[in-house]
Amino acid sequence: MVIPVFNGAGTVAEVVRRSREVLGGCAGGHEFILVNDGSSDSSWERIVELAESAGDVRGVDLSRNYGQHNALLAGIRAARCDLVLTIDDDLQNPPEEIPKLLDSLGPGCDVVYGEPIAKQQGLGRRLATRAVVRALKVLGGETAPMVSSFRVFRTSLRDGFVSYTGPDVSIDGLLTWQTERFRSVPVRHDPRQHGESNYSLVKLIRHALTMITAFSTRPLRIATSLGFFVILFGVAVLAYVLVRFFTEGNGVPGFPFLASIISIFSGAQLFAIGVIGEYLARMHVRVMSRPSYLVRAEVGGNGGRAAAAEGLDGHDGICRILDWDSEFWGFPIARVVPERVDVATAEQVERWCEGHGIACAYLLAGADDAETAAAAEGVGFTPVDTRVTLERPGGPLAAESRPVDGMEIRPAEARDEAALASLARQAHTDTRFFFDPHFSSPRAAELYAAWVRRGLAEDPFRVFLAERDGGPAGYILVKTDPLEIDLIAVEEASRGDGIGRALVAEAIGVSPNDTVRVVTQARNVPALRLYESCGFRVVKTEAWYHRWG
């Protein structure tokens, strides 16, 4: 849960308490990220108290007031769970409605908004909000059909805008970059308990302008169309004047007529210049490289670690430490968050890794991104692998393609753990860990055994085991929400007999109407051929880089 806090000292503790009670019954684990957005009251002191008294609370203190969406971006980048839920600190969205959002976030959906049944706001605020929303739709401010600050979405969507910079932020606009699978659910909306709304009409209009000019080019098209129609109108007026001159022998009398025409043309020109100027202003601000936010301090999560406000902290969008990888390998491992880096960003990554004692840093970048490759290699990154992402649209795979010669596919059970681990140790030797000499090959093989064991024991994973003549012949590890194939392996003596295709069909059958995604290596040609024969198509090719300290 990410909660932006602005002068919310009187309510933030209550929001956390009620949310904790609700999440205890509907979530396997949770954390609270409270972002103090330059409050003038004692909000930060209350956040520090909450973080010091409970291990599930982390606090982020911004250096000044940046605005609700900028504060949300800071919290979203700090999130570590699979889902991110945002809620205001004013208790108008009651935490007791959270299960409705979580229950609606099923297959085929990436973002769920809470739609108030009846908004507890003044008439002026409701009318202003409605006018702004309609203006956004007309002028191309791209958002979901219904948006609100009470939302839940998959944290993986964050990867698409993790390198976004600039002071103009709209979380809803950024989410529309990543998905079209939105949903809304009716929720209760309570009266405000403390203070007044910080959204005035001026702020609403300013946010609408941000949405329109930062995430849409439709106003430029409108200005172009207006100029075209004004030209047509001018031509029509000229034709009228000429026809009257030649037919009646005199011109069009009257100063008012001439003044009206000049006013129309001048107004159209000023409108077009104003629209272009608004876009130029946005470009000017971006060129100045003003940050979306600056963190003054953090508390909780990592033992009350203070954050140096340099944009180099592990929760500020540069790098993040990978806890599971670090624990498995026995030394600190981190991943670079942006997929595109320039020379300056690469140098920041280098300083961050050295400052945090990172043994190995991963970077995943576009395979054709020459600028990132040059910048990364300049600070010690080495290319080790090419990752290929494939997708298959919904629809079952033909069942008649499955082999029938003594093979059976069934859900794996705890008793199959040893057989699955043994197969995993032998089947994934074409991955990047085996091609980087810094990693021990036996330990790399054990990594995939641990991966399968974790999938066997945890949600939302499912493992299917293929047996042939009473022995294990292959397995497939599937993540069900959203539907993804994590690992697939076929025992060497059984390859080429159709077992891989049968396992893929079993994975697709988990949710046959949903899009299925899978990631593999470019050097794994048999796997690529298997997936393409099952209807998968390549959607992305990326390069893995490793940097050793």
Predicted pLDDT at 236: 77
* Residue closest to 338 by CA, chosen among 361, 357, 365, 313: 365
Question: 65 near 36, Cβ under 8 Å?
Answer: no
pTM of structure: 0.49
Predicted pLDDT at 137: 55
Predicted pLDDT at 195: 59
Give a three-class secondary structure readout of 397-466.
CCHHHCCCCCEEEEECCHHHHHHHHHHHHHHCCCCHHHCCCCCCHHHHHHHHHHHHHHHHHCCCEEEEEE
Which residue type occupies 251? G
* Residue closest to 403 by CA, chosen among 525, 527, 502: 502
Predicted pLDDT at 463: 95
Bridge partners of residue 334, in order along the sequence: 321, 361
DSSP tag of 249: S
Strand bridging mode 151-154 / 83-86 = antiparallel
Predicted pLDDT at 400: 47
* Residue closest to 507 by CA, chosen among 525, 524, 489: 489
Dihedral sign of CA atoms 186, 460, 457, 29 in order: negative
> pLDDT by residue for the chain (549 residues), tens digit each?
999 999 999 899 999 999 999 998 888 788 999 999 999 999 999 999 999 888 889 999 998 898 888 999 999 988 888 899 999 998 899 999 999 999 999 888 999 999 888 765 555 555 555 555 555 555 444 444 567 889 999 988 887 777 677 777 888 878 877 888 889 899 998 887 665 665 555 666 666 666 666 556 667 777 777 777 777 777 777 677 777 777 876 665 665 567 567 767 777 777 778 777 777 766 655 554 566 778 788 888 643 333 333 333 333 458 888 888 888 898 899 999 888 899 988 998 998 888 888 999 999 999 999 999 999 999 999 999 999 999 999 888 865 444 557 789 999 999 999 999 999 999 998 899 999 999 999 999 999 999 999 889 888 899 999 998 888 999 999 998 789 999 999 998 888 888 999 999 999 999 988 999 999 999 999 999 999 999 999 999 999 999 998
Question: 499 near 506, Cβ under 8 Å?
Answer: no
Bridge partners of residue 468, in order along the sequence: 407, 471
Predicted pLDDT at 208: 64
Sheet holding 2-5, edge to edge: 182-187, 111-116, 151-154, 83-86, 2-5, 32-36, 57-62, 295-299
